[in-house]
Structure 1
């Protein structure tokens, strides 16, 4: 049986080109065609959030389909291919690894016999080009994406295939509402990567950080930003990580 370690991608291991490059280009193309400023990013994010709230966790990340829907609503005869824009912008310095130790850490985990998988809400066609360009793809045995498995995080079914082929010993991610909830709901050690960790928390071990009252306050504020619909009073245990990582290499001491 395999011993899996699963990772989120965006905000955990890498920076994708969507926020600073893909969405702004979509906005520029639409605004130029309309001959007026149009905030297409806001419209797309609203549609994304609506679909997430309706538990349509696959459709919520189909940016090509959402762009086509928006163009239809605006009655624009305009060709925009998000997949092609991702390919166009998947170059240095627009995309990058979030730490220099990402690849060395993945290498160490592989040397120790772990199987590695990404569990991401981004579609394969948007994620793989970025992973390949950054040298990430070769380290992963599986790339789990919503359109391949029929659901996205935080739906626990996204992990089903991995659980059938082995045991997941840790999930690492940067979001409480997606990653930490998912791991906790499935009984998997939940590792939150939080690179803004205050100095006074860095001196603690990853496990002790998670149990600190001070960090719980950070979680409350973070969860409010991630998902305002989730009540944080009292703070729900499902969104408390078992470990808090300041740097990705700290994962090695948690296994």
Structure 2
């Protein structure tokens, strides 16, 4: 359990720190196998529909159990692989990668004494092969995932891993990362790598309520399919365009001495 009032940094993984092999490699291979059993061009979409059905029915963590979803779609057919095996097969340099700002920022935070965890909706068996390959795993004290928490982002209960700590949660999705952290009364940080130069020039503390951000948030919320009544709840407390800006937030929220002067 974290010390009372300790600040814990939690990170989403996919599209926040790294790119996993699902979209470009795992799903296409599943699709090729399914095409031999279903007379449609992209039968892998059956998995996506089942995933969404489970989400709508509140079936967490089963909505993120891709092996179980595949078995359900296969309807008793013998599957010659597991999704975990496909992830391991395609997790190699060139098929998975980190954003360029990740390791320098993680090094700075680790050397400054920040405590960090992964907080992802991906099951550990699908995420650890990728974080191991990319050298991310040693930075995290723990992995918090749906099969452990028995819930998923954006449910507030997912963030109970913080216990006595204040959590700064960093993620790329407004509908999962920001909404979940806000619901749990934690500190939400939206990483928005497509930020315009006008916003980049602003101090980090001034971006989240600046009029320039409104259109960016509206477009992203529309893309994520967030109902209008949830828009305010999806408003991040901080907006960054690179992880290089995260130590400033950690320093401010933890009351630590400045680390930026050391680097």
| TM-score (ref. length: structure 2) | 0.89
Cα deviation for residue 35 of structure 1 reads 7.5
Q: Is 1:103 the equivalent of 2:100?
A: no
Aligned 1:77-116 pairs, distance under 5 A: 77-98=78-99, 100-116=100-116
Query: CA RMSD for the aligned pairs?
Result: 1.6
Q: Which residue number corresponds to residue 131 of structure 2?
A: 131
Cα deviation for residue 130 of structure 1 reads 0.2
Q: Aligned equivalents of 1:167 and 1:150: distance in 2?
A: 21
Q: Which residue number corresponds to residue 34 of structure 1?
A: 37
Q: Which residue number corresponds to residue 248 of structure 2?
A: 253
Q: Aligned equivalents of 1:167 and 1:111: distance in 2?
A: 20
Q: Is 1:118 the equivalent of 2:113?
A: no
What runs of 5+ residues in structure 1 fail to find an aligned partner? Answer: none
Aligned 1:145-160 pairs, distance under 5 A: 145-160=145-160
Q: Secondary structure at the match of 1:34?
A: coil
Cα deviation for residue 237 of structure 1 reads 1.9
Give yes or no for contact 2:144–2:161 (8 Å, CA) kept in 1.
no
The worse-fitting range, judged by mean Cα deviation, of 155-164 and 83-92 is: 155-164
**Aligned equivalent of 1:219, options 217, 220, 235:** 217
Q: Aligned equivalents of 1:42 and 1:150: distance in 2?
A: 25
Q: Aligned equivalents of 1:193 and 1:181: distance in 2?
A: 14
Q: Aligned equivalents of 2:187 and 2:208: distance in 1?
A: 12
Q: Which residue number corresponds to residue 257 of structure 2?
A: none
Aligned 1:11-22 pairs, distance under 5 A: 11-22=15-26
Give yes or no for contact 2:34–2:44 (8 Å, CA) kept in 1.
no
Q: Which residue number corresponds to residue 60 of structure 2?
A: 57
Q: Which residue number corresponds to residue 70 of structure 1?
A: 73
Give yes or no for contact 2:21–2:96 (8 Å, CA) kept in 1.
yes
Any idea what the Cα deviations from partners look like across 1:129-175, whole Å, max 9, x if unmatched?
Answer: 000000000000011010011111011111213224x332x110000
Q: Aligned equivalents of 2:42 and 2:97: distance in 1?
A: 26
Q: Which residue number corresponds to residue 238 of structure 1?
A: 233
Q: Is 1:205 the equivalent of 2:200?
A: no
Q: Aligned equivalents of 1:36 and 1:14: distance in 2?
A: 34
Q: Quick one: structure 1 residues 35 and 253, their matched pair in 2 at CA, closer, same or farther if it must change by over 3 Å?
A: closer
Q: Quick one: structure 1 residues 22 and 205, their matched pair in 2 at CA, closer, same or farther if it must change by over 3 Å?
A: same
Cα deviation for residue 227 of structure 1 reads 2.3
Cα deviation for residue 182 of structure 1 reads 1.2
The worse-fitting range, judged by mean Cα deviation, of 127-136 and 75-84 is: 75-84
**Aligned equivalent of 1:4, options 5, 8, 20:** 8
Q: Aligned equivalents of 1:214 and 1:51: distance in 2?
A: 36
The worse-fitting range, judged by mean Cα deviation, of 76-85 and 14-23 is: 76-85
